[in-house]
Amino acid sequence: MLFLKLRMWLLVAALFAIIYAVIVIIGSYFGIANFYFYLAISLVMMFIQYMIGPKIVEWTMRVKYVKREEYPRLYQMVEGLAMRAHIPVPRICVAQIPLPNAFAFGRSKKDGRVCVTEGIFNLLGDEELKAVLGHELTHLKNRDVLTITLLSVIPMIMYRIAWQFLFYGRRRDERGANTAIIGLVAFLFYFITNLLVLYASRIREYFADRGSVELGNRPSSLASSLYKLAYGAARTNRESLKEVEGLKAFFVNDPSQALKEIRELSHLDLDKSGSIDPSELEVLKAQKVRLGFGDRLLEALSTHPNMLKRIKQLSEYKI
């Protein structure tokens, strides 16, 4: 866990060091009058995104806030986990979509909301659902939404710098070749920082998995829920998946990778029960997981870790 935290802080430091270096270089040596204006616009966009983000999630996911009498068991699970996590009890809601999954959103711990979809109730058992909720409450505890919002603005700033220098800088500056080079470098930084933000997103999933176990959930319960959610996503029609494509980073797993994940995880289900029990997780613990080039590339471009690696990591945890 300490190593994960160290990687996250180093990543945050690297991203902000990159943006600071670019600002200093451009501001000092090229004196672009409008540069800081575009930077300010990017920061304003980040702030607006941060403020209206919860509403966008509510509209897209067709979120309905529910009462205790409607979902007493769900309330009991969330309240118990929030007490263990030492955070305020988040608002509880149900997304009226068939895709089985769960997610957390909000601007802060006090503004936290935890949401399950309608499709999850008939798929997961109580222990599996509780493990998923523990994962989501850990996101709130770790202020993941704020971190990713702050980091995601950096590729956006790099993209604006690249666009400014490549398509507008040469018209106003006699040193057209120099501005084009800066634009290309900024575009390269845009690509690199975008990959780093995706990496940060994957790290936070490992954090949340670990957090769920620390809240008292068995690693096998979370592993089994991930396996079942992959099956649930594979059975969901494509139109429903398209509706939530832009927000899949919020989910416990990536629905678009469901078929691939089923192929990987079915080998763990030794008794073909449709779940992963502690003994099956113990078998994985003794094995080495090696990814091919294609799998590593796909993971590098994904918001979530490779599922087999993720469950392998779960197998290392103990309550």
Catalytic residue, from 136, 205, 280, 299: name it. Answer: 136
Rounded Cα distance, 161 and 35, in Å: 8
**Do 182 and 31 form a contact (C-beta atoms < 8 A)?**
no
DSSP state of 231: H
Angstrom distance (rounded) from CA 93 to CA 80: 16
In sequence order, what are the beta bridge partners of 91? 113
- The residue type of 13 is A
State the DSSP H helix or E strand holding residue 117, giving kind and residue range, or none if neither. strand 113-117
| Radius of gyration in angstroms for the set of CA atoms belonging to the chain, rounded to a whole number | 21
Residue 70 among the catalytic residues:
no
- Dihedral sign for Cα 152, 154, 155, 159, please: positive
Catalogue the active-site residues.
136
